[in-house]
Amino acid sequence: MQTKPYRIGTRGSPLALAQAYETRDRLVAAHGLPEDMFEIVVLSTKGDRITDRALAAIGGKGLFTEEIEAQLSSGALDFAVHSSKDMPTALPEGLTLSTFLPRADPRDAFIGRTAERLIDLPKGAVVGSASLRRQALIRRLRPDIEVVIFRGSVQTRLDKLADGAVDGTFLAYAGLTRLGLQQKATEILDAETFIPAPAQGAICIEQRIGDDRIAALLAPINDRDTSDAVACERGFLAALDGSCRTPIAGHATIDGGTIRFSGMILSPDGREAHDINVEGERSDAADLGRAAGEELRGRAGAHFFEDWS
Q: Which residues are catalytic?
A: 86
In three-state secondary structure terms, 177 is helix
Query: What is the full DSSP assignment across 37-73?
Result: GEEEEE---HHHH--SS-HHHHT-GGGGTHHHHHHHH
What order of strands is seen across the sheet that includes strand 146-148? 146-148, 126-128, 168-172, 108-112, 187-188
Q: How far is CA 204 from CA 107, 187, 227, 302, in A?
A: 17, 27, 9, 33
- The closest alpha carbon to 259, from 235, 275, 295, 238, belongs to 235
| C-alpha span between 268 and 135 (Å, rounded) | 7
- Indicate if the alpha-carbon torsion angle 83, 248, 240, 286 is positive or negative: positive
Rounded CA separation 43/39 (Å) = 13
CB-based contact 286:234 (threshold 8 Å): yes
How would DSSP label each residue in 8-27? EEE--SHHHHHHHHHHHHHH
275 by DSSP, 3-state: which? strand
**Region label for 175, one of left (φ > 0), alpha (ψ between -120 and 50) or beta (otherwise):** alpha
Name, in order, each residue with C-beta under 8 angstroms of 306's C-beta and a sequence gap of 6 or more.
Answer: none
Tally Cβ neighbours within 10 Å of residue 198: 32
Q: Chain centroid to CA 121: how far?
A: 26
